[in-house]
């Protein structure tokens, strides 16, 4: 070793690094047989494995110019000392002078590392695979993986933050903390403006856990707004059934049992009572004349044929104020197309309920190699995310499986009976089923209907129950008979 020159000692002292600290880490002015720049003084930082020097970094003084030993091995600086320590906490600095500043402040040598090759210009997508970080992977294999915590104390500029991000991606966010230095970009700059005790306080007291997306303390979770709930039914239903913003609802029933008609009555009730706008994608029942006829009848309370022109015009004006209709120009809607149009309905028309009737009309674009149950799972999750993002009710009218249809006409359709996947039962927030105990009896049309509230994930939506209704043929409306028949 070549002793540290007086010039180098004086330069380090201006940065509040003592001669004793330099010598404790083996820093010298140069090493025998190693190149020394022609102009100016240098500091030599040896990189060792045991007693063997495997690399050396040279810093020319007084300007900031670096070079390394030819064919030197990249390795964390001071790694041997850290591997021999308790490894309860390991600090990683961007440069050797910052590591020395931490030692001056009082951090034990067994807790201090510096990277050997500075910081990149930008973070990497695959840091662990980059050659510049091979020393990190190698250090973990040598025993650094036993560290309980890594405190990353890189520079506060762009490259320092990029290095910090890359180190976290390799070391694992669960064990990473970080520290930012007030007013300056690194530990040595902070030491020059403050006392060693103040730097130690920052290094020990100002460290923060590396944020992990998706993991929060209760106090860190923003308070959600109260859930908007809407009454879709009748006074007799009390608190048994509500529709809720930010939820996914599924309505089903056997063919011919009236799920589309009753579903529209419930939407009408919500729109009328709460003055909402609703978007309906009705792929089997045309908006004109069928939905218009039903909505007119719900509004006026008599058969369409018995209405006068004024009643029809008034009902039509109300329909235009509260409903928009989603139709694919070629009759081949994909789920992605539907979500795009639904977003327009929510943002441009301020719709708070979106209904698909029926679901199976969206399934034609499922990739041939994808299982139906997986496709349905992914789409239902997308629908739920859409509902939560825009705080709307997303309602799907879905058919039972054809194979099950013959076996289920005599009973209530359950969510697990729906076509294509068991996910219909576990993903939605709410499940409803329409059932007619009798469609005809002795040639007479039966109008009694039962609505089963099969599932309510949140108590604000009500609870599982049976609700009884009758379709009043004179008024063309569903009336609650809940107390009379149930």
Spatial contact of 376 and 427, defined as CB atoms under 8 Å apart: no
Verify cis geometry, omega within 30 degrees of 0, for the bond prior to 55.
Answer: no
CATH number for position 180: 3.40.1360.10
Q: Domain for residue 218, yes or no? A: no
CATH number for position 53: 2.20.25
Q: Are residues 57 and 82 in the same domain?
A: no
Structure-block tokens of residue 106: 């009082």
Q: Domain for residue 299, yes or no? A: yes
Give CA–CA dist 380/422, Å, rounded.
Answer: 12
Of the candidates 70, 9, 62, the residue with the CA atom closest to the CA atom of residue 34: 70
pLDDT at res. 409 = 61
Residue 200 neighbours by CB under 8 Å, 6+ apart: 105, 106, 107
pLDDT at res. 439 = 83
Q: In sequence order, what E strands does 293-411 have?
A: 323-325, 351-357, 393-397
Q: Domain for residue 306, yes or no? A: yes
Beta strand 41-49 with 52-61 is: antiparallel
What residues of the chain score a pLDDT lower than 50? Answer: 32-33, 405, 485-486
Q: Domain for residue 217, yes or no? A: no
Q: Are residues 275 and 424 in the same domain?
A: yes
Q: What does pLDDT average to over the chain?
A: 91
pLDDT at res. 60 = 84
Domain final residue pick, 211, 237, 264: 211
Of the candidates 431, 433, 293, 264, the residue with the CA atom closest to the CA atom of residue 353: 264
pLDDT at res. 55 = 94
Q: Are residues 250 and 264 in the same domain?
A: yes
Give CA–CA dist 173/256, Å, rounded.
Answer: 56
Q: Are residues 57 and 80 in the same domain?
A: no
pLDDT tens for residues 115-127? 999 999 888 888 9
Q: Are residues 67 and 90 in the same domain?
A: no
Residue 379 neighbours by CB under 8 Å, 6+ apart: 335, 362
Give CA–CA dist 376/418, Å, rounded.
Answer: 11
Domain final residue pick, 13, 39, 72: 72
Q: Are residues 250 and 388 in the same domain?
A: yes
Q: Domain for residue 457, yes or no? A: yes
Q: Are residues 4 and 92 in the same domain?
A: no
Q: Are residues 133 and 199 in the same domain?
A: yes
Give CA–CA dist 432/258, Å, rounded.
Answer: 12
pLDDT at res. 214 = 83
Q: Domain for residue 224, yes or no? A: no
Give CA–CA dist 55/68, Å, rounded.
Answer: 7
Of the candidates 26, 61, 62, the residue with the CA atom closest to the CA atom of residue 45: 26
Provide DSSP, 289-326: IIIHHHHHHHHHSS-GGG--HHHHHHHHHHHHHHEEE-
Q: Are residues 234 and 192 in the same domain?
A: no
Q: Are residues 465 and 374 in the same domain?
A: yes
pLDDT at res. 125 = 82
Q: Domain for residue 216, yes or no? A: no
The domain total for the chain is 3
**SS3 state of residue 103:** helix
**Is the pTM value of this prediction over 0.75?**
no
Q: Are residues 61 and 86 in the same domain?
A: no
Give the domain range for residue 97: 74-211
Q: Are residues 300 and 349 in the same domain?
A: yes
Domain final residue pick, 211, 242, 276: 211
**SS3 state of residue 195:** coil
């Amino acid at each position: 070793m070549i002793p540290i020159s007086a010039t180098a000692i004086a330069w380090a002292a201006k940065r509040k690094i003592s001669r004793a600290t330099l010598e404790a880490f083996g820093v010298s002015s140069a090493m025998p047989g190693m190149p020394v720049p022609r102009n100016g003084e240098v500091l030599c930082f040896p990189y060792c494995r045991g007693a063997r020097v495997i690399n050396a970094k040279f810093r020319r003084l007084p300007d900031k110019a670096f070079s390394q030993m030819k064919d030197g091995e990249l390795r964390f600086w001071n790694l041997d000392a850290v591997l021999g320590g308790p490894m309860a906490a390991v600090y990683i600095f961007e440069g050797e002078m910052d590591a020395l500043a931490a030692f001056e402040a009082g951090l034990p040598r067994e807790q201090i590392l510096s990277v050997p090759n500075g910081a990149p210009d930008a973070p990497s997508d695959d840091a662990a695979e980059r050659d510049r970080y091979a020393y990190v992977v190698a250090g973990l294999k040598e025993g650094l993986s036993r560290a309980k915590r890594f405190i990353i104390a890189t520079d506060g500029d762009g490259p320092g933050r990029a290095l910090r991000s890359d180190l976290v991606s390799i070391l694992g966010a669960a064990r990473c903390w970080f520290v930012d230095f007030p007013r300056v970009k690194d530990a040595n700059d902070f030491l020059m403006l403050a006392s060693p005790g103040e730097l130690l306080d920052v290094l020990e007291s100002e460290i923060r856990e590396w944020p992990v997306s998706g993991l929060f303390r209760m106090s860190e979770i923003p308070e959600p707004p109260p859930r908007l709930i809407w009454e879709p039914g009748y006074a007799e239903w009390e608190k048994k059934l509500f529709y809720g913003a930010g939820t996914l609802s599924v309505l089903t029933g056997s063919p011919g049992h009236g799920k589309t008609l009753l579903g529209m009555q419930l939407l009408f009730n919500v729109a009328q009572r709460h003055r909402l706008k609703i978007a309906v994608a009705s792929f089997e029942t045309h908006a004109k004349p069928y939905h218009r006829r039903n909505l007119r009848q719900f509004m006026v309370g008599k058969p369409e044929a018995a209405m006068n022109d004024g009643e029809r015009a008034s009902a039509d004006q109300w329909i235009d104020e509260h409903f928009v209709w989603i139709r694919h120009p070629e009759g081949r809607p994909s789920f992605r197309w539907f979500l795009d149009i639904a977003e327009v309905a929510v943002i441009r028309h301020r719709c708070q309920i979106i209904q698909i009737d029926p679901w199976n009309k969206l399934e034609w674009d499922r990739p041939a190699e994808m299982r139906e149950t997986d496709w349905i799972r992914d789409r239902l999750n997308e629908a739920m995310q859409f509902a939560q993002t825009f705080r709307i009710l997303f309602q799907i009218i879905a058919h039972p499986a054809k194979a099950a249809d013959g076996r289920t006409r005599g009973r209530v359709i359950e969510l697990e009976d729906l076509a294509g996947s068991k996910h219909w039962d576990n993903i939605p927030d709410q499940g409803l089923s329409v059932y007619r105990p009798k469609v005809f009896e002795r040639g007479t049309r039966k109008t009694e209907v039962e609505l089963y509230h099969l599932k309510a994930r949140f108590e604000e939506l009500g609870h599982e129950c049976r609700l009884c209704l009758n379709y009043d043929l004179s008024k063309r409306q569903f009336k609650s008979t809940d107390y009379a028949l149930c």
